[in-house]
Amino acid sequence: MSRFAAQTLELAIAHFPGALLAPDGAAALRGAAPWLAPGRQLYFECRLAGADRPLDISQHFFAHDGGADALLALAERLADAEGEAQTTWRRIADFARIWSSDAGLADTLVEIGLEHDLGADGWVPAPAVFAAFRSDVLADRAAGERFIAAVAPQGDAAWRQLLATLERAEAHGLKSGRLVGAMLSRDAQLRCMIRGLSPAPVRAFLTDIGWDGDIGALVALLAQPPLTGDATRLVLGFAPALVADCGLEIIHGYDAPGIAARDGLLDWLAARGLADPARVAALREWPAAIPPADARADWPDAMIVRDLAGKAVRPHFSGFVNHVKLNLPAHRPALPAKAYLALAPLSGRQAAHV
C-alpha cells in the first residue's frame, strides 16, 4: 500500500463534508488505500439523497504526465489479487505496457480512469475501467478496439453494438462522446456517452434503435432548463445488447457561469426530491484548495520531499465538484442524484470533459 495514497485519503477525510459521509464512511475510505496509486487525481462519488451514503472512488491517469507508468505500477502490484480480479489487473497491466510504449496510442487515448466500488463486504477487488479519447469514440475507434481487446476481450460483441449505436446517433444529428467504459466490477457492461442532446433528435434516435427504456420520461427530462445545453451527456450501456437502463451526466465548466449553472441544477434536483438540500449545501464545504497550512491532517511525506527538492510550485491539493449524475432505471423514476468531488495533488483542475 502506498503511504502517499493513504495520507491523501486522510486529507480528504479531514475535509469531507459531514452530511455526505456515513458514520462508517471514514473507515471505508481508509480501506480503499491499497487499491490506489500515489499522486493521482481522485474522485469521490457521493449520493445526494437516500438513506445510504456509500462512497465509491475513481482515479484518473493522464497520458501527458506519466499516467501510463503509474497505472502499470499499480496494476502490477495488484496482479496477485485473488479470483477473477487477478485476471482483470493483469489485463490492465498488459494494457498499461502498450499505452506507455506506443506514442501514437498515448496521443489518441489521453486518459484512463479506474472506478472502485464499495460493496457490502468491502471494496470490490476489480475496478471498472474507462478510456477517454482525444477526439471521440467513433473517430478514435482503432484505439478503442485496442483498449477493449486488452482490458475486456469478452466485450467484443458489446463493442460492435456500441459503435453501431453511436453511428445511428450521429445520423440523427447527435454526437459521439469521448469516453468508453468497461464495468468489470459489476456486470461487464460497456458504456458510452452521447453529446449534443436535444429532445426531438433524442426521441427519434431512441425510437429508431428500438430502445426499451422510457423514451417519453427521458425526453421530458432533457426538456428541463437545467438539463438543456452541451453540459448534459446521455450514458448508454451494452451487455452485449443495448440495455434499457441509462444515465445522464452533467459536466459544467469551472468558471463563474459553469459554477452558477451547476448550482442551479443542484437546486432543481433538490426541489424535485432527487437531492437532499442539506447535502447540496454540504458540497460547498469541499475546499477549492488544501495548502499545507490548512491540511487538518499530516501533510504527505512525498509532497514534503518534492517541496524540499524545489520541484513543487505552491504545493497544494485542488478540490472541486467535477460533475453530477442521474441514473435512470428502466420504466422507473430517476434515482437520487450523485455528485463527484475531485481532489488533485500538485495540479490545477485537470477534470476530464467527455
Tens digits of residue pLDDT in 16-62: 999 999 888 999 999 999 999 999 999 999 999 988 776 899 999 99
**Largest CA-CA distance found in the chain, in angstroms, rounded:** 61
Reduced 3-state DSSP string for the chain:
CCHHHHHHHHHHHHHCCHHHCCCCHHHHHHCCHHHCCCCCEEEEEEECCCCCCCEEEEEEEEHHHCHHHHHHHHHHHHCCCCCHHHHHHHHHHHHHHHHHHCHHHHHHEEEEEEEECEECCEECCCCEEEEEECCCCCCCHHHHHHHHHHHCHHHHHHHHHHHHHHHHHHHCCCEEEEEEEECCCCCCCEEEEEECCCHHHHHHHHHHCCCCCCHHHHHHHHCCHHHCCCCEEEEEEECCCEEEEEEEEECCCCCHHHHHHHHHHHHHHHHCCCCCHHHHHHHCCCCCEECHHHCCCCCCHHHHHHHHCCCCCCCCEEEEEEEEEEEECCCCCCCCCEEEEEEEECCCCCCCCC
- pLDDT for res 192: 98
Is 343 in contact with 42 (CB distance < 8 Å)?
yes
- pLDDT for res 348: 37
- pLDDT for res 122: 86
Q: Which residues of 152-170 are buried (b: 16+ CB within 10 A; e: fewer)?
A: beebeebbebbbebbeebb
Is 140 in contact with 108 (CB distance < 8 Å)?
yes
CA distance 90 to 210: 37
- pLDDT for res 315: 76
CA distance 331 to 24: 33
Q: What residues contact 144, with CB distance under 8 A and at least 6 apart?
A: 131, 133, 137, 159, 180
- For the stretch 258-273, pLDDT in tens is 999 999 999 999 999 9
Q: What residues contact 299, with CB distance under 8 A and at least 6 apart?
A: 7, 292
The reported pTM is: 0.92
Q: What residues contact 306, with CB distance under 8 A and at least 6 apart?
A: 312, 315, 346
Grid coordinates belonging to 261 = 449553472
Is 49 in contact with 274 (CB distance < 8 Å)?
yes
- pLDDT for res 85: 87
- pLDDT for res 345: 86
Among residues 149, 194, 192, 190, the alpha carbon closest in space to that of 169 is found at 194
The residue type of 152 is A
**Which of the residues in the chain have pLDDT under 70?**
54, 310-314, 347-354
Q: What residues contact 171, with CB distance under 8 A and at least 6 apart?
A: none
